[in-house]
Amino acid sequence: MSWLAPVHPPSEPKAQPSPSSSVSQAQPQPQPQPQSQPEDARRIHQIVRLNPQDYAAYKECHAKVWPEVVAQIRASNIADYSIAYDRDTSLLFASFKYTGRDFEADMAKMRAHEPTRRWWAMTDAFQQSVNPGAVSSEKAGTVGEDGKKVPGWWKECEELFYLP
């Protein structure tokens, strides 16, 4: 899936002794190592348009995200999730890290979770997808009547730069 950008833990530079120093120096203290991530961990970026008149309601509901939805997001191997808003374009920008091994299976579990489906129905009503053919968050990734995969409600974006 080209829209999934690999997340690689930052590599720590190794301390090198100074070539001009002939005097024995104390050994440098070991640096803490970053937590390892699965090799297939991905950062995912998405956009959708927010109806400007729904800004206050959208912001308010995200200040009080339902605990069942938060639990399901975490159970679906999604972490470091944020949504930003650009008032000039009315675009919402989502970014998160997927740390699981089977994205499609984890998204199917999310679609099967009743509280998440109700959450999506509520929040989709505030939004307009910019993805041609998108139907809803719930239908994203499923097979439509025409036998084709239904596009995501949120449009996936390509990551062009990442500095860990």
Domain range for 128 is 36-157
* Number of domains composing the chain: 1
3, part of any domain: no
Is the pLDDT confidence value at 70 over 80? yes
Residue 21 lies in a domain: no
- Whether the per-residue pLDDT at 163 is higher than 80: the answer is yes
pLDDT at 13: 42
- Provide the CATH number for the domain around residue 134: 3.30.70.100
DSSP characters over the chain: -TT-EE--PPPPPPP---TT--S--PPPPPPPPPPP--TT-EEEEEEEEEPGGGHHHHHHHHHT--HHHHHHHHHTTEEEEEEEEETTTTEEEEEEEE-SS-HHHHHHHHHH-HHHHHHHHHHHTTEE--STT---TTTTTSB-TTSSBPPPSSEEE-------
Mean residue pLDDT across the chain = 83
**Does residue 20 fall inside a structural domain?**
no
Positions marked active-site = 62
Say if 55 falls within a structural domain: yes
Q: Is residue 91 very low, low, confident or very high in pLDDT (cuts 50, 70, 90)?
A: very high
Evaluate whether residue 23 is within a structural domain: no
pLDDT at 164: 85
pLDDT tens per residue across span 3-59: 344 444 444 444 444 444 444 445 455 444 444 445 568 999 999 999 999 999 999
Of 154, 150, 101, give the one whose Cα is nearest residue 130: 154
pLDDT digits (tens, 9 = 90+) for 110-122: 999 999 999 999 9
98 falls within a domain = yes
* pTM of the predicted model as reported, rounded to 2 decimal places: 0.74
User: What CA–CA distance (Å, rounded) separates 29 from 4?
Assistant: 36
Work out whether the CA dihedral 160, 44, 79, 48 comes out positive or negative.
Answer: positive
Whether residue 16 is contained in a domain is answered as no
Of residues 73 and 3, more confidence is placed in 73
